[in-house]
Structure 1
């Protein structure tokens, strides 16, 4: 059975911290901006059909606005688009959709700031989460890693593409409609004063 897991623990230093000013700016924008399906597709390099299928099957649902029915537009956050691009890269590398679902679930456990410090390594069957260079090296030494995706690089690509695309801000009503979303509540309270 193939499983996704963390890379072997290394006894070396922790990875260098991410530039807090850059991640803070993206986190603020992420809380207030959403991107419609066509913009998310363009930034992530996926088709609208893929995007719709992944939203309907729960692989990646939009976190800014997830609605159904005609006349309504889903809105994807920066983080959503980042994960979409990672999904696309994993698919292109031949990783099964089942393993991608496990990897996406593991990425959900990380804050936006932490994502830029993660490298996903895969041998085409399993996906490993590495948070330090030593973990990547350990995987390569063990013959497990065939390719890697440095999320920091993907972050920069997505950020550059989204800067050129139109975004929308959800209104207060939409934010209130998601009572179980603690992060959204905290962001709304922070904006309100």
Structure 2
């Protein structure tokens, strides 16, 4: 268990996962960085506004990992993992966890591979966020007598996967070519500067 607010001792034995990983071998292509989702699709799947998404990308809370470009005419592309973390951020915000604690929790989640995320449950008492990978860790938190809530990333995974299956995706290399017929403004700028 990783407490993102304060240090807690870990048990010496390897913890048993709360659930089996959803994918033990290779992930489907839609869950890798080979496929990305534009901002509106990411917003819809995660339940956040485009304004939130843009702010979090600009402040470094969660930058898109497939394609992170700036300027007009370019589209950020978010991976499955990015959208999974976006949905977790939204849930933590909805329960009153501070953005500062969420930044620490997101930092801890970044250290895990996509397949690892499915076996994690995040617990929070509203002030701190705890990463639990075994039933014992969850029980220890609940024995403290303080109210806690949990987010099982496996169930969030399935929600995001279901929503994204209905939304358009694209490959990062599908950016507009330099001589795209509909990009007249770009062509004019290049003629002016060239």
* Residue equivalent to 1:17: 20
Decide whether aligned partners of structure 1 residues 19 and 81 sit closer, same or farther in structure 2, where only a CA change above 3 A counts. Answer: closer
* Structure 1: unaligned runs, 5 residues or longer: 174-193
Q: Please tell me whether residue 101 in structure 1 is matched to residue 92 in structure 2.
A: no
Cα distance between partner residues in 2 of 1:172 and 1:40:
18
From 52, 55, 58, give the equivalent of 2:57.
55
1:160 CA drift (Å): 0.3
1:149 CA drift (Å): 0.3
Encode CA deviations 1:80-122: one digit per residue, 9 max, x unaligned. 0000000000000000000000000000000111000000000
Cα distance between partner residues in 2 of 1:93 and 1:85:
13
Contact 1:7 1:129 in 2 (8 A): no
Contact 2:29 2:35 in 1 (8 A): no
Cα distance between partner residues in 1 of 2:83 and 2:109:
13
Structure 1 moving runs of 4+ over 2 Å: 2-13, 23-29
- Most deviating of 69-78 and 23-32: 23-32
* Structure 2: unaligned runs, 5 residues or longer: 176-194
Q: How many residues are matched?
A: 171
User: Residues 4-153 of structure 1 correspond to what in structure 2 (within 5 A)?
Assistant: 4=5, 9-10=10-11, 14-15=16-17, 16-20=19-23, 24-26=26-28, 29-144=31-146, 146-153=148-155
Decide whether aligned partners of structure 1 residues 136 and 6 sit closer, same or farther in structure 2, where only a CA change above 3 A counts. Answer: farther
Instruction: Please state whether the residue corresponding to 1:90 is helix, strand or coil.
Output: helix
Whichever of the two has the greater Rg, that structure is 2
1:57 CA drift (Å): 0.2
Instruction: Please state whether the residue corresponding to 2:26 is helix, strand or coil.
Output: helix
Cα distance between partner residues in 2 of 1:158 and 1:146:
24
Encode CA deviations 1:42-65: one digit per residue, 9 max, x unaligned. 000000000000000000000000
Instruction: Please state whether the residue corresponding to 1:128 is helix, strand or coil.
Output: strand
- Give RMSD over aligned pairs: 2.3
Decide whether aligned partners of structure 1 residues 155 and 3 sit closer, same or farther in structure 2, where only a CA change above 3 A counts. Answer: closer
TM-score (norm 1): 0.81
1:170 CA drift (Å): 1.3
1:133 CA drift (Å): 1.2
Decide whether aligned partners of structure 1 residues 26 and 132 sit closer, same or farther in structure 2, where only a CA change above 3 A counts. Answer: farther
Decide whether aligned partners of structure 1 residues 17 and 35 sit closer, same or farther in structure 2, where only a CA change above 3 A counts. Answer: same
